[in-house]
Amino acid sequence: MDTHTFFFHLLLILIISRLLAELAARFHMPTVIGELAAGVLLGPSLLGWIEPTKTIQLLAEVGIILLLFKVGIETDIRRLINAGRQSLIVALGGFLMPLVSGFALGYWVFGLSGLVSLFIGGTLTATSIGITIRVLSDLNRQHEKEGEIVLGAAVIDDVMGVVLLAILYEFSVSGGVSVMNISKVMTFILLFFILAPVAAKLISVLIRRFDDYSSAPGLIPIMIISLVLFFAWLAHVVGAPELLGGFAAGLALSRRFFLPFGVALHSDRKFAGRIEVQMNPIVYIFSPIFFVTVGLSLSLREIDWSSPFIWTFALSFFFVAVLAKFAGAMLIQAHFLQRVAIGLAMVPRGEVGLIFAELGRSTGIFNVEVYAGMVIVITLTTLLSPFALKWFYAHHCEHLKNPGGDCEPNSPVI
């Protein structure tokens, strides 16, 4: 790609996503819808001006790890741990229900093979952590109780998704699965989750000290981005999703992070504030690229819209996809409305679902029709649930708000 073409594509991505996001806000829609719509508009689905090239995809990946970094830095780790048990239930329920019901619907109702049905079930387990968190943040609900449960559940869901993807891939290639490998990966991921924030915190203390001696400006953004990239890379090395590295680094740098040994480390609020001020513009530039790229990747033009089978197929799985995530949320003990909100927030499949569907297509397990059906399911869950969640909060805010909470959403945070 020529430099000027790249500049022009980047320009279109930034400016159109911003315009549509502002427009969405004017019509009281979640702004993330504007960014996803920009991708659908500019991409192969409609205008075909921009292909999701390798460079754009890599920038989008930087966008999602930086977004998770920002989510991490704003998270109160104690409250996240407190919500842990309920998050685990929501994640497990919202993982097993779609897997089982997706498989059942594919195998018994549509008469697909076991492997195809398994991949469909896998595609339906996905939760788009980026879109879920962004919608809650657009609604200013990310620090409420259900926001914390959803954040924890989305993180756990992402780990389970990666493990399942590895299992399905191994199974489709070799026909069998090594329990040894899986438990090794699970152990590594668990260790990563316990050790990474501690290590990131220690490194950040070094950066803090080094900052006083540095002879050139720009130390903070460069070192923090390096830290985020390092933990994203490390997450991949241990077998975890890269974006969880960004989340771990963010958690470590949050104002409310505490180390079991070393109380002195957690009180440097001024430094944490400087990190946020300097990192925010970088996050604002990269994160829309991620949401636009999700929109770019939805190749809606390839779908034969006139086929009745596609519609029956897609709508059946869409209902299963929504109901199964709700079923997961219903397993916890909370106010009914909170459980509905959590269920709605877990619905968007987004980029994680697309990765499953893409693996299904590239390995030849999904034929054109099944793939098209899955793309429709992913599109519907991704685009409809932000609307549903916003509508739900607007109509049930009085029953959901915490003491001191505000019913009118403030300006969104991310």
Contacts with a second copy by CB under 8 A lie at: 1, 3-4, 6-8, 10-11, 14-15, 18, 21-22, 25-26, 31, 54-55, 57-58, 61-62, 65, 214-223, 225-226, 229-230, 232-233, 236-237, 242, 277-285, 288, 411-413
Q: Which is nearer to a second copy, 186 or 219 (CB)?
A: 219
| Residue 135, burial from CB neighbour count under 10 angstroms (0-12, 13-18, 19+) | buried
Cα of first residue to Cα of last residue in the chain, in angstroms, is 31
Q: Nearest approach, Cβ of 83 to a second copy (angstroms)?
A: 26
Q: In this complex, which beta carbon is closest to a second copy, that of residue 295 or of residue 343?
A: 295
CB of 119 to a second copy, least distance (A): 22
Q: How far is the CB of 318 from a second copy (least distance, A)?
A: 29
Tokens of 142: 């990310």
Q: How far is the CB of 385 from a second copy (least distance, A)?
A: 19
DSSP letter at 401 equals P
DSSP character for 402? P
Q: Are 127 and 353 in contact (CB under 8 A)?
A: no
Q: How far is the CB of 188 from a second copy (least distance, A)?
A: 15
Nearer to a second copy, 306 or 411 (CB): 411
Nearest approach in angstroms of CB 166 to a second copy is 14
Q: Among 172, 157, 176, 129, which residue's Cα sits nearest to residue 294?
A: 129
Nearer to a second copy, 169 or 230 (CB): 230
297, 43 Cβ separation under 8 angstroms: yes
Find out whether 33 and 387 touch, Cβ atoms under 8 Å: yes
Beta-carbon-side half-sphere exposure of residue 343 (alpha carbons within 13 Å):
24
Check residue 47 and report its DSSP letter. Answer: T
CA distance linking residue 148 with residue 69, whole number of Å: 16
Least separation, in Å, of the C-beta of 3 and a second copy?
5
Those residues with Cβ within 8 angstroms of residue 361's Cβ, 6 or more apart along the chain or in another chain: 371
Closer residue to a second copy (CB): 174 or 410: 410
Q: Which is nearer to a second copy, 104 or 237 (CB)?
A: 237
Identify the helix (H) or strand (E) that includes residue 70. Answer: helix 54-73
**Residue number, 27 or 261, with CB nearest to a second copy:** 27
- Nearest 5°: the CA angle 77, 250, 397 is 60
